Amino acid sequence: MTDPSPRRDTADRVADTVVELGPLLGYVRVPARELDGAGAPGLLATLPPEVAVAIGSAATDAPDEPGPVADDHVSRVVALRAAVDAMLRHPDAAP
């Protein structure tokens, strides 16, 4: 696992990779297209705090012609960030 997939990976698999890679783990990238409606609470809960989480995808997934930033883009980014926040929160943590 280099990029955790909310649709494919489990929290246990992510935890095993964190232990396996240890200090070699610099950052993880979560595919933005998999955050839409994919509920994976706690998926990234075992990441150490120094490991950055990026929302993105492979360059081939980028739109052909990016348009201007609009309100719907901003609201989508806010929703994507909330989805990643939920994946970082441990399931047993207080709300």
Average pLDDT estimate for 50-75? 70
15 vs 64 pLDDT, higher one: 15
- Tell which residue, 16, 17, 39, 36, has the closest CA to residue 89: 39
Strand partners, 53: 28
Its pTM stands at 0.75
Q: What is the pLDDT of residues 76-95, one digit of tens each?
A: 888 899 999 999 998 777 66
Average pLDDT estimate for 32-61? 80
Q: 69 pLDDT exceeds 70? A: no
Q: 65 pLDDT exceeds 60? A: no
| Domains of the chain, residue spans | 11-58+67-88
DSSP 13-54: HHHHHHHHHGGG--EEEEEGGGTSS---TTTTTTS-TTSEEE
